[in-house]
Amino acid sequence: MNQPELYIGLMSGTSLDGIDAALVDFSHASPKFLSKFFLPYDDALKLAILALHKPTHNELHQTQLTGNQLARLYAQAIHSLLKQTEYSPEQIRATGCHGQTIRHCPEHGYTLQIGNAALLAELTGIAVVSDFRSRDIAAGGQGAPLVPAFHDKILRHPEIHRVIVNIGGISNLTRLAPGHSTTGFDCGPGNLLMDTWCMHHLNQPFDADGAWAATGQVLPALLKRMLEEPFFALPPPKSSGRDLFNTDWLNIRLKGDESAADVQATLLELTCTTIADAIKMHCDGVQEIYLCGGGAHNRTLRHRLASLLADCTVQTTDILGVDSDYLEAIAFAWLAQQNLLGIPANLPQVTGARHPCILGAIYQA
- Is the omega angle on the peptide bond into residue 158 within 30 degrees of 0, that is, cis? no
Whether 118 has a pLDDT exceeding 80, the answer reads: yes
Angle (deg, nearest 10), helices 59-83 and 117-124: 30
Report pLDDT digits (tens) over 177-205. Answer: 999 999 999 999 999 999 999 999 999 99
Residue range(s) defining the domain that contains residue 281:
156-320
Under a CB-based contact definition with an 8 Å cutoff, are residues 31 and 9 in contact?
Answer: no
* Those residues with Cβ within 8 angstroms of residue 146's Cβ, 6 or more apart along the chain or in another chain: 132, 133, 136, 331, 335, 345, 346, 351, 359
Q: What is the pLDDT of residue 56?
A: 85
- Order of strands, edge to edge, in the sheet holding 183-189? 183-189, 170-176, 162-167, 288-292, 313-316
* 347 and 238 in a common domain: no
pLDDT average, residue stretch 311-329: 97
* 312 and 191 in a common domain: yes
Report pLDDT digits (tens) over 305-314. Answer: 999 999 999 9
* 304 and 196 in a common domain: yes
- Coil vs helix vs strand at 21: strand
Residue 1 lies in a domain: no
Q: How many helices (H) and strands (E) does the chain have?
A: 13, 13
Report pLDDT digits (tens) over 132-156. Answer: 999 999 999 999 999 999 999 999 9
Confidence of residue 125 (pLDDT cuts 50, 70, 90): very high
What is the C-alpha to C-alpha distance for residues 206 and 15, in angstroms, rounded to an integer? 10
Share of the chain above pLDDT 70, in %: 100
Residue 293 lies in a domain: yes
* 210 and 94 in a common domain: no
Residue 235 lies in a domain: yes
DSSP 204-247: -SS-GGGTTGGGS---HHHHHHHHT-HHHHSPSS----TTTSSH
Q: Which of 101, 94, 119, 122 is nearest to 23 (CA)?
A: 94
* 215 and 180 in a common domain: yes
What is the C-alpha to C-alpha distance for residues 31 and 153, in angstroms, rounded to an integer? 10
User: Other CB atoms closer than 10 Å to residue 74's CB: what's the count?
Assistant: 30
The more confident residue out of 56 and 331 is 331
Residue 149 lies in a domain: no
**Residue 343 identity (one-letter amino acid):** I
What is the C-alpha to C-alpha distance for residues 271 and 245, in angstroms, rounded to an integer? 12
pLDDT average, residue stretch 91-106: 97
Whether 272 has a pLDDT exceeding 90, the answer reads: yes
pLDDT average, residue stretch 279-301: 97
Residue 217 lies in a domain: yes
* 285 and 247 in a common domain: yes
* 183 and 71 in a common domain: no
Give the helix, strand, coil percentages of the chain, each rounded to 5.
Answer: 40, 20, 35
Residue 44 lies in a domain: yes
What is the number of structural domains in the chain? 2
What is the C-alpha to C-alpha distance for residues 57 and 72, in angstroms, rounded to an integer? 24
* 193 and 110 in a common domain: no
Residue 151 lies in a domain: no
* 200 and 78 in a common domain: no
* 271 and 352 in a common domain: no
* 225 and 203 in a common domain: yes
Q: Which of 159, 173, 158, 160 is nearest to 287 (CA)?
A: 160
What is the C-alpha to C-alpha distance for residues 250 and 267, in angstroms, rounded to an integer? 9
Q: Which of 89, 140, 67, 151 is nearest to 110 (CA)?
A: 140
* 207 and 352 in a common domain: no
Q: What is the pLDDT of residue 2?
A: 76
Report pLDDT digits (tens) over 9-42. Answer: 999 998 899 999 999 999 999 999 999 999 999 9
Q: What is the pLDDT of residue 202?
A: 97
Residue 236 lies in a domain: yes
pLDDT average, residue stretch 203-221: 97
Give me the CATH number covering residue 32.
Answer: 3.30.420.40
Under a CB-based contact definition with an 8 Å cutoff, are residues 114 and 102 in contact?
Answer: yes
Q: Rounded mean pLDDT of the chain?
A: 97
Q: How many CA atoms lie within 13 A of 192 on its CB side?
A: 24
What is the C-alpha to C-alpha distance for residues 136 and 148, in angstroms, rounded to an integer? 14
Whether 1 has a pLDDT exceeding 70, the answer reads: no
